[in-house]
Structure 1
Amino acid sequence: MSNFSFPEFDDLPVVKGQPKGCLWGIFDVDGQKDQLGTLRLLTKEVVQKAKDEIRTGTHVQLDWPLHNIEFPGFGRIPLQHTVKDLAEEGFVAFDDVISFNTQTSSQWDSLKHFGSQKTAVYYNGWTHDQLKTSNDLGIHKICDRGGIVGRGILVDWLSWWEHKNPGIEPPSAISCHKIPVSELEATLAYQGTETRQGDILIVRSGFVRWHNNAKADIRALGTEKQHYMIGLENNDETVRWLYSKHFSAVAGDTMGFEAWPYPEDCCLHEWLLVQWGTPIGELWDLEALAEECKAHNRWSFFLASAPLRVVGGCASPPNAIAIL
C-alpha cells in the first residue's frame, strides 16, 4: 500500500482519556499494539519512489559532532571520550571509550523518550511504570524495521527569513521564538517544495549556526544556564497542520523542534511522540545540507538513517545521510 487513508482531524475516533486527534490503535496489526507509529507510512512503495530524489549523487551527513552541545542543560553530561592505547596488549592500535547522553547532540527521540506530563502515559497507552522495566517503544524498534529511509524535505526557514528581511538579525536561536505555520508554508512556497504523505520533515531554524559561531561563554549561557529555544509554534494550528501533512518523522536543528518552553495547553512533543508515534529529530546539523539545496535549487532528497541498536534505548544519534 503506497498511501494510508486518514480521517480528517476532527473525525478521528475518540480514544478514552486522550485528546481529540489521537492515533492510538490506527497502526495496530493483528491485535498487536503498534510500536512504530507514523514510521509505518514509509511503505516499500513510498521508499521506492523516494529513490527518484537521487539525481546528482551529492551526499551530506546530518550528524553534529558528538561533543556538541558543549554545555548541555537539564543536568545532562557532555561527551566523555577516551582513546585507549593498545600497546600494553601488544598491538600498534587504539580503541575508543565513549560515554554520552543521547539528548546532548544530534538525535532521534524514540517513542520511549517523552510521555504525557499530566497522565504519565506514552504512545499507544504504555505507562511510565511499565516502561521502567520494559524495552517496549525503544529505539531498537526503529532498527528492527530497517532504520528510517524515505524522502526528506528541508524547510529552510532561516534562509527564507533572511531573504525576506535583508540586513536584519534573525530571531535569536536561544529565545522562545515561535515559527508559525504561515511561515512554514511561505518557506515551502519560496522553495517550490511540495509535501507528500510519509515525508520526513526537517526544519532549519538557525540554532546550530548560532552555536557554531558563538563564543564559549555565550554558548554556556544559552544552553546550560537557561532553557529558551527557537522552534515551531506550539498551538492548535501547528498540530492540525502537522496532522494534515502525515509526515513519517520530523526533525530540526534546534534543541526541541518546538519552541521551548512550551505553553501548558500545547506541547508538540506530546502530540508527535505520544499521540501519533512520530519520532522527533533534534540538533541536526543542516548547514551543509542548506548550502547544497541552494546550489541544486531543490530542497527534497533521499534520506537514510540508521540509529544505534540499543535495546530499550530512549534516543540515538541519527547517523543520517541526505542524498540529492
Structure 2
Amino acid sequence: MPEKTGFSKAQELRMSQVLAGAPSNWGRWGTDDEVGALNFLTNTEVLRAARAIRQGKVFTCGEVIGNPKGDPMWPGRSPTKRETVIDKNSYIKGDMPTLPGGAEFTDDRIEMFLQASTQFDALGHVWYDDQLYNGYPASETNGGLKKASILPIAERGVVGRGVLLDMAAYKGKFALDKGDLLGLEDILGCAEKQGVTIEKHDILCLRIGFLQLLYVQGPEVFYKDFMEPGLTYSAELVDWFYQMEIPCLATDTISNETELDPEIGVQIPLHCALMRNLGIVFNEICNFEALAKDCHADGQWDFLYAAAPLKVREATGAPLNILAVK
C-alpha cells in the first residue's frame, strides 16, 4: 500500500509537499540534458540487451491506430481519423490524371492526438512548481515545447533489456479492474513468481490488461466512472526506481499509473516523481498480449526492447511501435 503521509485528502496537498525530499536526477547529465534516464542506456547496455535474444522471435507491441472497435485514449481526446484522399474512384471520376506510363496511386492522411496511441511522453509533458524536468521553466511549453520535447528522445531512440511482468496474471485475472492498485511489493512478487530477475537499467514493462476490456465491454461501459488500475505512489517505490536506475517504464495503460492516488488525493504523482524528477521516460498504451502469451509458454520474460517515437518538433509526445526480440 502507498506510504502514509499524515495529510488528509481534504487538505488538498501540493505535489511539492507529497514529493518533498524525493530523489532527483536534475543536473546528473548536465544542465542541457533533455533525455533523462535514457542516458543509462549506453552501448554496453545495448549489448547486454542483445544477449536476451536467444530464439529469434520478434513481437510488435503497438496498438492499432484507427481500430474500428475504438482507440484507447484518455477520455476527452477525439478519436483518430484516417481519411483516404486519393483512390481508384478518383481516377474513374476524372479527379486525378493517370501518370505517364499508366501508373496510379492511392493516398491518405490522418488527424490524431499524438498521445492517442502507443506513444512516449516527452519529459516536459508534466510538471509542477513551474519547472519541467531538469529545472527548465514551465514557460518553455508555451506554443510548443522548446525544452524536453519528444524530439531529443526520437533522435536518440530507446534500446535496452526489457522485462515483462504480467501483473494481471500475478493477481489471478485476465485484466486488472478499475481501482486495482499495484505497489513495489507486487512488482517484486511478480518477478519472483515468473522467475525473472530485474536488473539495473532494465526497461520495465507491465501487462495490466485493462485496455483490452475496451474491446470486451465497449466504450460506454469501459469509460464510465473511468479510473485506470495500476501503480500507485509510495516513497519506497520511487526510491526503488531511483536505485535501480530504470530508464523507461512501459505499460498497457493510458497513464502508467492510477491517475488519482486514493491515499494522498493528488493526481498523477508518479508522472511527477518518476518523469519530472528522475527523467524516466513513460511508454504508454502498449499492447503486450501476444508477447505475454509467448512468455507464459516458453518462460522467457526478458528480451531486447527497441522503440523510437516519430520526430515531431516541439511535441509533448509521439506515436511509436515497439519491437520485442527474444
TM-score by length of 2: 0.83
Which amino acid is 2:159 matched to?
Answer: V
Identify unmatched segments of 5+ residues in structure 2.
1-18
* Residues 1:26 and 2:38 aligned together: no
Superposition pairs of residues 139-288 of structure 1, within 5 angstroms = 139-145=150-156, 147-162=157-172, 171-172=176-177, 175-214=178-217, 216=218, 219-223=219-223, 225-262=224-261, 263-264=264-265, 267-288=269-290
Alpha-carbon contact 1:67-1:105 (below 8 Å) kept = no
Alpha-carbon contact 1:35-1:137 (below 8 Å) kept = yes
Report what 1:310 is aligned to: 312
Change (3 A) 1:127 1:109: same
Change (3 A) 1:44 1:320: same
Which amino acid is 1:286 matched to?
Answer: F
Q: Greater Rg, structure 1 or structure 2? A: 2
1:210-239 Cα shifts (integer Å, max 9, x gaps): 22322x2xx23433x433000112222221
1:126-176 Cα shifts (integer Å, max 9, x gaps): 12212215432111101222x1011100011112222xxxxx78641xx13
* Residues 1:110 and 2:144 aligned together: no
Change (3 A) 1:120 1:198: same
CA distance in 1 between counterparts of 2:155 and 2:64 reads 26
Structure 1 residue 107, shift from structure 2 partner: 1.2
CA distance in 1 between counterparts of 2:193 and 2:41 reads 27
- Segment drifting more, 55-64 vs 201-210: 201-210
Alpha-carbon contact 1:148-1:304 (below 8 Å) kept = yes
RMSD of aligned residue pairs (Cα, Å): 2.2
2:321 aligned residue (298, 319, 323): 319
Report what 1:57 is aligned to: 56
* Residues 1:136 and 2:147 aligned together: yes
Structure 1 residue 71, shift from structure 2 partner: 6.6
Report what 1:10 is aligned to: none
1:218-266 Cα shifts (integer Å, max 9, x gaps): x23433x433000112222221222222111001011211112234467
Identify unmatched segments of 5+ residues in structure 1.
1-16, 163-167
Change (3 A) 1:197 1:102: same
CA distance in 1 between counterparts of 2:214 and 2:75 reads 17
CA distance in 2 between counterparts of 1:37 and 1:320 reads 20
CA distance in 1 between counterparts of 2:276 and 2:227 reads 23
Change (3 A) 1:241 1:89: farther
Alpha-carbon contact 2:149-2:313 (below 8 Å) kept = yes
CA distance in 2 between counterparts of 1:19 and 1:89 reads 66
CA distance in 1 between counterparts of 2:109 and 2:45 reads 39
CA distance in 2 between counterparts of 1:72 and 1:49 reads 34
Structure 1 residue 203, shift from structure 2 partner: 0.5
Alpha-carbon contact 1:181-1:233 (below 8 Å) kept = no
Report what 1:12 is aligned to: none
1:175-207 Cα shifts (integer Å, max 9, x gaps): 132112111111100111112221110111111
CA distance in 2 between counterparts of 1:92 and 1:130 reads 45
TM-score by length of 1: 0.84
CA distance in 1 between counterparts of 2:228 and 2:288 reads 17
Report what 2:13 is aligned to: none
Report what 1:81 is aligned to: 82
Change (3 A) 1:76 1:89: farther
CA distance in 2 between counterparts of 1:182 and 1:132 reads 40
Change (3 A) 1:89 1:98: farther
Change (3 A) 1:308 1:230: same
Q: How many residues are aligned here?
A: 292
